[in-house]
Structure 1
Amino acid sequence: MSLEFTVQYPETFPDVLGDTPEEFETEAKWAMAVKLFELKRLSSGMAAMLVGVDRVTFLLKLADYGVPMIDLPDAELMSDFKNS
């Protein structure tokens, strides 16, 4: 089972951004999924399902939003590097 919710927005928003309503809504869905992933509220797989793409496609799109695929603290990253 899946649920659905509606977001109301002024009809001028897509025009201001130079988008069609469909493009604006797709971008909003992506922004929500990326932010929830960045906040560690959703896994990459769950976020990918939210936007209807495979996990690899989602991970590659993160760069468009300036969000790293892997966000480890420096100490943990260095530890992993030393132990590899």
Structure 2
Amino acid sequence: MRTVQLNIPDSLDLKDYDFSMIVAAKLYEEAKLSAGQAAEIVGLSKRAFIEMLGKYGVSVFSDSITDLHSDITNA
């Protein structure tokens, strides 16, 4: 895993955990990371990460019609 260093203004008043969660949640939402990969970035279990997504405005459920059809077929 690589490390990225970012400089954010102190006035943002954002804890490191919240910043990590925002980035991981967004990458999960855009299907760039799996829930497990995103959880690893934040240092949470997959279950805990999924439970926290709503707090950061991300749904566990996909908006994709293709995903919906696939879910129905697999149900």
Q: 1:42 aligns with which of 33, 37, 57?
A: 33
Give the drift of 1:78: 6.0
Unaligned runs of 5+ residues in structure 2 are none
SS in 2 for 1:35: helix
CA RMSD of aligned residues (A): 2.3
Unaligned runs of 5+ residues in structure 1 are 15-22
Residues in 2 aligned to 1:48 and 1:73: alpha-carbon distance in whole angstroms: 22
Residue 32 of structure 1 is matched in structure 2 by: 23
SS in 1 for 2:33: coil
State the TM-score, normalizing by the size of structure 1: 0.71
State the TM-score, normalizing by the size of structure 2: 0.78
Looking at both structures, which has the greater relative contact order when contacts are Cα pairs under 8 Å and sequence separation is at least 6? 2
Residue 5 of structure 2 is matched in structure 1 by: 6
User: Size of the alignment, in residue pairs?
Assistant: 74
Taking every aligned residue pair, what percent have the same amino acid on both sides?
27
Match for 2:52: what amino acid?
A: K
Residues in 1 aligned to 2:66 and 2:9: alpha-carbon distance in whole angstroms: 45
Q: Which has the larger radius of gyration?
A: 1
